Chain A
Amino acid sequence: MITLEGLTKRYGGTTAVDSLDLTISPGRVTGFLGPNGAGKSTTMRMILDLDSPSAGTALVDGRPYAEWPRPLTKVGALLDAKALHPRRSARDHLVAMARSNGVPVTRVDEVLSIVGLDAVTRKRAGQFSLGMGQRLGIAGALLADPEVLMFDEPVNGLDPDGVRWVRELMRSLAAEGRTVFVSSHLMSEMQLTADQLVVIGRGRLIADAAVGDVIAGSSRTTVAVRIPDRTQLAVLRDRLAAEAERVEAVEEGLVVTGVPAERVGDLAYELGVRLHELVTERASLEEAYMELTADSVEYGVAVAS
């Protein structure tokens, strides 16, 4: 479990992370989303005590990361696949890592085979492709069999098979009861992988909710009804206008925002309105995310109209 309390990081005048309060629980995959510069990597670096917070605390199972003896058995992390000596072989890199935390060296060959790098263990890490580098980083995260796993953009540079493998790996790690905290820009991927979502923008917490709730809360999730009778259509429209965020009349029907399909159906029944279709059109996570972060995009691009 990771607990952040009032976690803050200031660089000179700018605040990269702004009093973040957050609990990341075991047994599920928590997706960490936010625009570029939102403070995701800085937050992860503070959890690992690589950066020290300006205020607040980041605790792993109740203690700062640096205070755990053999910390790699507590948290395995892939923050930057390039944080290694490019002229050291993949295997030597992991051997040095294993020795640093008293992990038996036999475990190195185990994780290399888990990530599918058995054939290139003697190759220098600097000659690895982006995808192989990510796999090596994931091998490092798994090395000491940690309770908590953190990944910063793990599927970067992976082929579709690799992306799928990472997804299944995260799901199985969470199923084993571990805490899995993953940042990503790929919303479609997060929608498939994560149970819980944490969204930040400009260093502040925007949302901390189950994936389903984030999508349901989006204005892009709508209920469409088709009504053959124009008079009945008007009756239902006027009734819905009282409780919906938005009711839009389209050809032969209505598109309703902010009222669930069950409620629309019940109202139609009450009012005796005959329906030919009643369907919920769910927003994608990407749409929900765009809506949440619209105000906090640091490096936004103005769309020409």
Chain B
Amino acid sequence: MSAAILAVGTGSGLSNAVRSEWTKLWSVRSSWLNIVAAVVLSTLLGMQYGWGLAYDNTHLGPGEVAEQQPIGHFGASAMLIVQVVIAAFALLTVTSEYATGSIRSTLQWTPVRRDVVLAKAAVLAPVLFVYGIAMAALASVAGGLTAGSWADWNLTDLVVDLLSVGFYATAAGLFSSGVAWVVRSTAGTLTVAFLLLLVVPLMLGQASLRALVWTAALLPGGAGQNFLTGATDPLSPTLSAAILIAWAAGALVLGAIVLKRRDA
């Protein structure tokens, strides 16, 4: 028995851990429920934005001009809200392990703690990328259909917009999972993610003080908004993307350090 099993078993620690994390992600119902929630939310938000545009363009104030909108913008706008659901998807892969105690099994199976953090991130990254693109596509199509003649269905613009949203969803999700390794509780992690991805940048971004605008642009949520809207002030989209990558990588490194030091 023993010889057969030892001979057949293969793979490095990290690649095995990645396979295990993939199995874990799709074998709990909460992952699927989260996707259902995001699908509903993305569709509804897209419809709302589409109707909103159609309404605005048919009820113009004096001096305003009706404009078509590329449908990808509906997707990017919806992501402002949907990102919270996607962040929850990512952070739950970590916090649910602490809530259920299964983290002790995980660390027993993969005792090299850095590999655990890396494996979860390696599974999440492509999933988040596709997840973000799919939800943005849903919102874009829903918005495009409800906006009617005001929708601009240019495919090239759409592809660029969707890829940008996919990138942002990946960065925001990985950032949330990194925070989850540090905070451990679902409520705590969700609070941190909600504040840094949505609330604080939104509040500061509307300030007229230059220093506050800069602060918002340096936070992950603000950098995300600037990146998705293609804003060039105060930073170029490329720099905003770099800031997002830095937040995601920083959170994961911090998470790995904390996990390594803490008893399971």
Chain A 66-105 interface mask (CB, 8 Å, partner B; 1/0)? 1001111100010110111111110011011101111110
Q: Given A100-B110, A107-B5, answer yes or no on A51-B264 (Cβ-Cβ < 8 Å).
A: yes
Task: Give the complex CA separation of A101 and B2 in angstroms.
Answer: 14
Q: Given A50-B264, A70-B16, answer yes or no on A103-B110 (Cβ-Cβ < 8 Å).
A: no
Task: Give the complex CA separation of A145 and B11 in angstroms.
Answer: 17
Q: Is the CB of A100 within 8 A of B19?
A: yes
Task: Give the complex CA separation of A51 and B11 in angstroms.
Answer: 26
Q: B210 on the interface (CB 8 Å rule)?
A: no
Q: Is the CB of B16 within 8 A of A97?
A: no
Question: A97 is contacted by which of B100, B104, B109, B111 (Cβ under 8 Å)?
Answer: B109
Task: Give the complex CA separation of A88 and B96 in angstroms.
Answer: 12
Q: A214 on the interface (CB 8 Å rule)?
A: no
B96 to nearest A CB, angstroms? 7
Chain B 17-42 interface mask (CB, 8 Å, partner A; 1/0)? 10111111001111000000000000
Q: A144 on the interface (CB 8 Å rule)?
A: yes
Task: Give the complex CA separation of A51 and B27 in angstroms.
Answer: 28
A88 cross-chain contacts in B, Cβ below 8 A? 24, 27-28
A191 cross-chain contacts in B, Cβ below 8 A? none
Interface size bucket, A side? 35 or more
B193 to nearest A CB, angstroms? 22
B209 cross-chain contacts in A, Cβ below 8 A? none
Q: Given A71-B111, A101-B16, answer yes or no on A85-B97 (Cβ-Cβ < 8 Å).
A: yes
Query: What does DSSP make chain A's interface, helix, strand, loop or mixed?
Result: loop
Q: Given A70-B13, A84-B100, A99-B20, answer yes or no on A52-B263 (Cβ-Cβ < 8 Å).
A: yes
Question: A102 is contacted by which of B11, B97, B101, B112 (Cβ under 8 Å)?
Answer: B11
Q: Is the CB of B111 within 8 A of A66?
A: yes
Q: B211 on the interface (CB 8 Å rule)?
A: no
Interface size bucket, B side? 35 or more
Q: A49 on the interface (CB 8 Å rule)?
A: yes
B262 to nearest A CB, angstroms? 9
Q: A115 on the interface (CB 8 Å rule)?
A: no
B32 to nearest A CB, angstroms? 11
Question: B27 is contacted by which of A89, A107, A140 (Cβ under 8 Å)?
Answer: A89
Q: A48 on the interface (CB 8 Å rule)?
A: yes
Q: A289 on the interface (CB 8 Å rule)?
A: no
Q: B108 on the interface (CB 8 Å rule)?
A: yes
Q: Is the CB of A92 within 8 A of B1?
A: no
Q: Is the CB of A50 within 8 A of B28?
A: no
Task: Give the complex CA separation of A24 and B19 in angstroms.
Answer: 33
Q: B107 on the interface (CB 8 Å rule)?
A: yes
10 residue pairs from A and B, CB less than 8 Å apart: A49-B111, A71-B111, A79-B104, A85-B28, A92-B23, A95-B23, A96-B23, A97-B109, A102-B9, A103-B5
